[in-house]
Amino acid sequence: MTSSRPRPDITEAVTLRSARVVLRQLELDHAPALSEALSRDDLWRTWYTIVPAPDRVEEEITRRLDLQAAGSMAPWTIFDAATDLPVGMTTYMNIDAVTPRVEVGSTWLLRSAQRSGINAHTKRLVLGRAFDDLGCLAVEFRTHFHNHQSRDALARLGAKQDGVLRHHQMFAGVPRDTVVFSIIEAEWPTVRLSLDERIAAGERRAADG
């Protein structure tokens, strides 16, 4: 029997939290702290990623909020739960509310927050919402062909590579090859178990000091 309950709004960036991270609706009020953090981090200089320069953060937040208003994005600020300081951004983008299907993208995380467990917790939260709450049939990820760190991380996550879109778009003045990964609904239980075990292992290592 089909449920009569309305499906949650995919574009609503509801607060998601775990022991390590809190994802909150992206707001212009977050711009000063994000700009200040990026001014102490050279991540935005990396040529194969799109990370706003410190003086372009407010412009980037406005862009994402405009896409949310148009129904194609749900943007979050990533906060370190231990300090309550912002350490990055992530989104659902290219939202297909009918299927439903989303791309998790426009994600960046300060170097100081990388390899800290924050990324695993963030992926667990956004994937859990997509599959368990929103009933998505698939979640997609896209990355630059030369972003080997991202490609390796997606493979470890359990996402499957769908293919390479060659000369997919212009990027930094040259054609970009885009690598497409996805997780489908049937694969989510295994990916979830793997993520939960990775998170638990990290917590055990932290407890052992």
Tens digits of pLDDT across the chain (209 residues): 344 566 789 999 999 999 999 999 999 999 999 999 999 988 888 877 889 999 999 999 999 999 999 999 999 999 999 999 999 999 999 999 999 999 999 999 999 898 889 999 999 999 999 999 999 999 999 999 999 989 999 999 999 999 999 999 888 788 999 999 999 999 999 999 999 999 998 877 777 76
Asked if residues 76 and 13 have their Cβ atoms less than 8 Å apart, the reply is yes
Rounded CA-CA distance 33/83 in Å is: 13
Task: Give the global pTM.
Answer: 0.92
Tally Cβ neighbours within 10 Å of residue 74.
27
Ordered by where they begin, the domains of the chain are 16-208 (3.40.630.30)
Rounded CA-CA distance 56/46 in Å is: 15
Which residues are within 8 A (CB) of 122 and not within 5 positions of it... i.e. 6 or more apart? 21, 23, 78, 88, 90, 107, 109
